[in-house]
Amino acid sequence: MGKGGEEDLGNKQSNGSEPLKFDTFPAWGKDVRECEEHFGVSVERGLSRGEVLTRHQIYGLNELEKPEGTSLLKLILEQFNDTLVRILLAAAVVSFVLAFVDGDEGGEMGITAFVEPLVIFLILIVNAIVGIWQETNAEKALEALKEIQSQQATVMRDGVKVSCLPAKELVPGDVVELRVGDKVPADMRVVGLVSSTLRVEQGSLTGESEAVSKTTKAVEENADIQGKKCIVFAGTTVVNGSCVCLVTHTGMSTEIGRVHSQIQEASQHEEDTPLKKKLNEFGEALTMIIGLICALVWLINVKYFLSWEYVDGWPRNFKFSFEKCTYYFEIAVALAVAAIPEGLPAVITTCLALGTRKMAQKNALVRKLPSVETLGCTTVICSDKTGTLTTNQMAVSKLVAMGSRVGTLRSFNVEGTSFDPRDGKIEDWPVGRMDTNLQMIAKIAAICNDANVEQSENQFVARGMPTEAALKVLVEKMGFPEGANKASSLANGDVLRCCRLWSELEQRIATLEFDRDRKSMGVMVDSSSGTKLLLVKGAVENVLERSTHIQLLDGSTQELDQYSRDLILQSLHDMSMSALRCLGFAYSDVPSDFATYDGSEDHPAHQQLLNPINYSSIESNLTFVGFVGLRDPPRKEVRQAIADCRTAGIRVMVITGDNKSTAEAICREIGVFEADEDISTRSLTGKEFMDVKDQKNHLRQSGGLLFSRAEPKHKQEIVRLLKEDGEVVAMTGDGVNDAPALKLADIGVAMGISGTEVAKEASDMVLADDNFSTIVAAVGEGRSIYNNMKAFIRYMISSNIGEVASIFLTAALGIPEGMIPVQLLWVNLVTDGPPATALGFNPPDKDIMKKPPRRSDDSLITAWILFRYLVIGMYVGVATVGVFIIWYTHSSFMGIDLSQDGHSLVSYSQLAHWGQCSSWEGFKVSPFTAGSQTFSFESNPCEYFHLGKIKASTLSLSVLVAIEMFNSLNALSEDGSLVTMPPWVNPWLLLAMAVSFGLHFVILYVPFLAQVFGIVPLSLNEWLLVLAVSLPVILIDEVLKFVGRLTSGYRYSPRTPSAKQKTE
């Protein structure tokens, strides 16, 4: 109840039982007077202002509670609920402790030591901020959709009718007036009918497929929700008639509020998505591997900080160097930093966030970030029919008129699938030459009609019954007869211009409302020609039964003989078999009692209109003029979308509450079934399916399936069985009754326009345009996002394998440490970050929707991919360590002169045993230059392997950066060559590479930053060496991709039924 929720509870406790009695009072089981007495209100005057304020205090606002948002602290903690992030946090803490221990030495190196842990902490903070921002941002699009449903009500207060009162201000006891098209603002007791009948569409709450008639009469107190015929429920819509009601329940006390509460409870338990599980498994495996490698590196180097002598065969005189022990522990920490892809959590979050933005542009609003990835492995789409596969806008598709002589009919096909009068035309239509028979059909369709069509921005919206709105659209397509529009003074921009012209010619003076017994509606009109007519429309059989004549093309009337009757009924049967809903038209002169009737209540004949029992006798001796076939037409783009699903290996199942024949006709038209396919085993009602012995086997049939007359429990059972069978299920729905199935499905898809708040709350994704093809586009986008995520995850992991190989080789060979932890951190975060993020912009593969869906248990890193990146990683290790050794041991390499800086050469043996330098006799090294600096080692030549390694270390770091930039080009496609997928297909990647190289140049050539990172500027020849050592990574991966393409048939097997059958 929003703000009023807490207040409500407190007042209920403090004010005794007074407020509570409204909640427990069974208004449906009491008559109107008892209800007035109980709520302390008069239907004529309504509540007083003072009473409204008092009840506001007790009941709060009439709105559904917004679910309590996750607290900021909980959101922050959730960002650290990730194995990778936790490893990173541990590495930061260890680095910080080591920096603190070393910090006693003070000076510049002491400050530098703190850079690494501080940067790791900064990464974690930024990642947490991105995650929190995205999770809070995902709900904003939904909030905008909620605005569409803002409601207003017409209320009686203090004897004055208040129009457009915000519905949230209603309280129990308010007297509300409802009209056609109104959305019911609260649970209310019907206390008076203004029209003779009242019908409400409450399918979203109860699952009933047809509008329900309401009455003022009390029912049994123990009646179920469908049996409460005198109650209108919040969120339902009035489709026919008008009435006065008394508010009985508001906010969370309404029926829709109770379901809302159940859904919120159900949403507390959610499983991790396939990707999250895989990343956690990867993180756990990484923790073990890091632990083993760190222990191995430490053991290899134990001789440097722990030595002993053997006396009498036993080790004695142990010597332990704490300083060297700490140094090698730092190397182990550097290994941990190298092995963890620090930027991965942030890059994944960024990629998913970019994906949700792309999907939003395609009208798919993603509520939960990880569901973007789950969409990519969808194997079954369970779709509702009405409004998703169809437009939910009734349209006339066929018009049948009388011929020029008895026993002949004329048939016209009508184009168009919406309420837009300009959408399509009538085939073979006599434009401007409408005969008398067609004019009469147009007149009845326009005037015997309570609906309206309005233009709202670019959409045309029906107000009232959709079937009646469709008839008015038909009248506009028929046009107005020549010479008859002299009465018009309307602007050309009028949506229903022809309907209004007919209304000007024929003034409506009385309405005989529709009722279920006679299945027709009639209006009496005072024609401009001076005659009074009765115009009738309704079910063809019923109208035909009360007809005695037919009107021919020229306007003449003939007696309705048996042949003509059979001909009309045969045509009706053919149209019904095509799932068309048919309405017939007829007219007659008004009965003699009404010859002078002008609509006045004082006229003697008016009494006959007050009792609907008289309507059948008034609507008798009719002249039949023709009929139309209407349907909820399929959306134009759906057929192609279903074909795309079939190509993509996704099965489509249609689950609808509509009747079987209508649903089958639509399924054939949109391609779920072939036109002449035998569907006796594929099309079942919900009840028939529940009686099937082997239900799972029925659901395993390839191709489309249809379930008609399905109730909410049937939907849930179908989804549950599919999930048990290992399918990844996307489920669409719009009603409150769909919410449990939406919650149960892997991806719940709610409708943004027609969907209830409860359905949206239960969903993972909301379709802003209610269109099935949007789901298919979203699946394609989900696949593309997953592929891109695999690309950058593999890219980052291959880079990390290279860094680990580099450090491991350094430790194994015993040469000086090539790169320090802060340099590795810089590479992982700054230089790897932009290309990894840019890989998220890779264009989708052209055949992305031609491949079968991946299995949800598919490995993120297959054995082949791991082998590939171990090969690449080993090359990275060899290249970074190799360039370090080359600088110390070679004056030139591959024709590139490296002696220009004047550095001294040493043998590989000396480099590998640099720790024994102090024992070497006559060891001297000459000074060398780096940029504007000169490094001299006269006082201590052994510093050449410590301070003097700065140039070799810079070369190693630059080779690592260059290799990883070229390696990002390899990640453009898993198996595709750079020849077929050149770098410029993703310009963002080229920009990212430029940014990363630019950042590397910044730390090389800005003196302060070079000092922090322990590097020096490089000469042109040294850059040539870097490129010569780095570029082969592209050739190596091209060879591996070629082998991958040759062996792909052996490595990928198609999805088999046995793979689906897994036990939960």
CA nearest 357: which of 917, 785, 839?
785
* Residue 389 dihedral angles phi and psi, to the nearest 5°: -85, -30
* Residue 623 dihedral angles phi and psi, to the nearest 5°: -110, 115
d(CA 876, CA 863): 20
Contact 789, 373 (CB under 8 A): yes
Other CB atoms within 10 A of residue 501 CB: 23
Q: Which residues does residue 510 pair with via DSSP β-bridges, in sequence order?
A: 524
Contact 972, 983 (CB under 8 A): yes
DSSP state of 78: H
What token pair was written down for 878?
């060899």
CA nearest 335: which of 987, 1043, 808?
808
Catalytic residues: 384
What token pair was written down for 603?
């006229």
Other CB atoms within 10 A of residue 313 CB: 5
DSSP state of 828: I
Beta strand ranges found along 752-901 (DSSP E): 765-767, 892-893, 896-897
Contact 774, 363 (CB under 8 A): yes
Instruction: Show Cβ contacts of residue 409 under 8 Å, excluding neighbours closer than 6 positions.
Output: 400, 401, 402, 403, 567, 568, 571
Question: CA–CA distance from 403 to each of 400, 406, 414, 579 (Å)?
Answer: 9, 7, 18, 24
What token pair was written down for 192?
């008076």
What token pair was written down for 856?
């949800």
What token pair was written down for 632?
């909820």
Q: Which amino acid is present at 124?
A: L
DSSP state of 1022: H
* Residue 244 dihedral angles phi and psi, to the nearest 5°: -115, 135
* Residue 121 dihedral angles phi and psi, to the nearest 5°: -60, -40
d(CA 290, CA 333): 10
How buried is 902 (Cβ within 10 angstroms: 0-12 exposed, 13-18 middle, 19+ buried)? Answer: exposed
d(CA 257, CA 745): 22
Instruction: Show Cβ contacts of residue 150 under 8 Å, excluding neighbours closer than 6 positions.
Output: 166, 167
CA nearest 788: which of 379, 274, 376, 380?
376
What token pair was written down for 768?
């802003």
Strand-strand pairing, 747-751 and 765-767: parallel
First-to-last alpha carbon distance for the chain, in angstroms, is 39
Strand-strand pairing, 532-539 and 581-589: antiparallel
Beta strand ranges found along 52-166 (DSSP E): 152-157, 160-166
Instruction: Show Cβ contacts of residue 810 under 8 Å, excluding neighbours closer than 6 positions.
Output: 816, 817, 818, 881, 884
* CA max distance for the chain: 136
What token pair was written down for 225?
């929700």
Contact 78, 368 (CB under 8 A): no
Contact 396, 641 (CB under 8 A): no
Residue 623, classed as helix, strand or coil, is strand
Beta strand ranges found along 380-484 (DSSP E): 380-383, 395-402, 409-413, 452-456, 459-463
How buried is 909 (Cβ within 10 angstroms: 0-12 exposed, 13-18 middle, 19+ buried)? Answer: exposed
